[in-house]
Amino acid sequence: MLATVFVLPYIQLQITGLGVVVATVSYGTIGLSLAYLLAFVISESFIVLSGLRGSAWVSVLKDVLAVLTLVFVFVYIPLHYFGSYSALLQRITDDHRAWLTLPGPTSHTLGVGWFISTAILNGVVFTVFPTQIAGFLGARNAQALRRNAIILPFYQVLLFVPVILGLAALFVVPGLKDSNLALFEMIRTEVPPWLLGVIGAAGALSAIVPMAMFMLVIGTMWGRSVLGIHPRTAPRQRELAQAVALLAGVAALLMTYTWPNALVRLSLVSYEGMAQLMPAVLVALVWRKVSATAVVAGLAVGVSAVCWLVFTDHDPVHGINAGLVALAGNVVVLVAISLIRPAATPRDRLAQPESASRVYPTATSPTCSVQSPPE
């Protein structure tokens, strides 16, 4: 249930992004309110028809279009509006030098300490985020996971592009009421309709594919874990999962209309809350003494601390991300209770290290022989 609550802001983020694309490619004919609804309908239709495998294949097309789009706008906007990258950066330096720095270390909010602690927290959450776990379980083999772990950090370099485009938008479209429209407002009147359509398609797929993953994960979690329905005993499990995903989408759509400009804040809160699952997922896999009581108590302390700090405007705490502070309290409680009232988890239920060679039966012998694992 906690994972569902903290994933909803990400579904809202994708609905908002897809709504912006729909409104932009219609050249204003469709308003944002209607565009959000159309985005929801489009994404739900895709989820019902595609499933996990379909989302994976569409993700390949999405990545290609998204990378090409980022390369295009990264070259086009600075050169078209400013003549060169140096001219853009020089103008930023001359007119708004403060945009190039975080609030200094004397500030208690969103400073360097907050940035570092948030980066650490995001690294923690990456290991337990439901969509990542779905990717782990859906991988073909362990080598595929290793290859993705090597390649994925290079994607973070692309985050430099929207930073530069955001700085450019402050000059090109000053006074923009909705910052979500910044990119499309800069290019809508400057590029031909067909190119705007291609860019819109890249943006649409970049929203639909993650949204599909989030909703499928929520549907699966509730269908199997919360409601206790097993595929062998529930022929209609797929329909149930789709119904749960639909309800999650409706909730995210309502959030889109209620808090349309709180996306960055909601996404940070989502990570801060999701981080509280880390001890329950990772520590319990390797430490025999962790008990269910310790896990629940740690979760209660961590989530309560996050909610209190965030909703009373105490985030960050002396410049440190509130989620990391809450996670520290979570771990302390879990460890303390586990030491006081340890569990006796059988070793065969703990995570086992992957071995280079294992025992597999051969076709020529009734006994077992040691050989490399099958591909």
Overall average pLDDT of the 167-179 stretch: 82
* Domains of the chain, first to last: 2-112+156-260 (1.20.1730.10)
- Could you give the CA distance from residue 359 to residue 36 in angstroms, rounded to a whole number? 54
Predicted confidence band at 329 (pLDDT cuts at 50, 70, 90)? very high
- Could you give the CA distance from residue 14 to residue 36 in angstroms, rounded to a whole number? 10
Overall average pLDDT of the 71-87 stretch: 91
More confident residue, 39 or 106: 39
Where residue 102 falls (left for φ over 0; alpha for ψ -120 to 50; beta otherwise) is: beta
pLDDT at 80 over 80: yes
pLDDT at 332: 93
Overall average pLDDT of the 41-68 stretch: 74
Determine phi and psi for 57, rounding to 5 degrees. Answer: -70, -40
- Could you give the CA distance from residue 297 to residue 339 in angstroms, rounded to a whole number? 13
Q: State the DSSP code for 281.
A: I
Overall average pLDDT of the 88-103 stretch: 83
Predicted confidence band at 363 (pLDDT cuts at 50, 70, 90)? very low
More confident residue, 215 or 279: 279
**What percent of the chain is predicted at pLDDT more than 70?**
79
Predicted confidence band at 307 (pLDDT cuts at 50, 70, 90)? confident
Overall average pLDDT of the 142-164 stretch: 83
SS3 state of residue 29: coil
- Could you give the CA distance from residue 20 to residue 175 in angstroms, rounded to a whole number? 18
Predicted confidence band at 334 (pLDDT cuts at 50, 70, 90)? very high
Q: Minimum mean pLDDT among 50-59, 156-165, 168-177, 249-258: which range? A: 50-59
pLDDT at 153 over 50: yes
Predicted confidence band at 201 (pLDDT cuts at 50, 70, 90)? confident
Joined tokens for residue 219: 């549907």
SS3 state of residue 312: coil
pLDDT at 180 over 50: yes
pLDDT at 343: 77
Overall average pLDDT of the 216-243 stretch: 64
pLDDT at 304 over 70: yes
Q: How far apart are the first and last CA of the chain?
A: 36
pLDDT at 161 over 80: yes
pLDDT at 328: 93
pLDDT at 314 over 50: yes
Give Cα 208 to chain centroid, integer Å: 13
- Could you give the CA distance from residue 96 to residue 76 in angstroms, rounded to a whole number? 22
pLDDT at 365: 43
pLDDT at 126 over 60: yes
CB 62 within 8 A of CB 202: yes
pLDDT in tens, 105-122: 556 577 888 888 888 888
How high does pLDDT run on average in the chain? 77
pLDDT at 372: 38
pLDDT at 362: 45
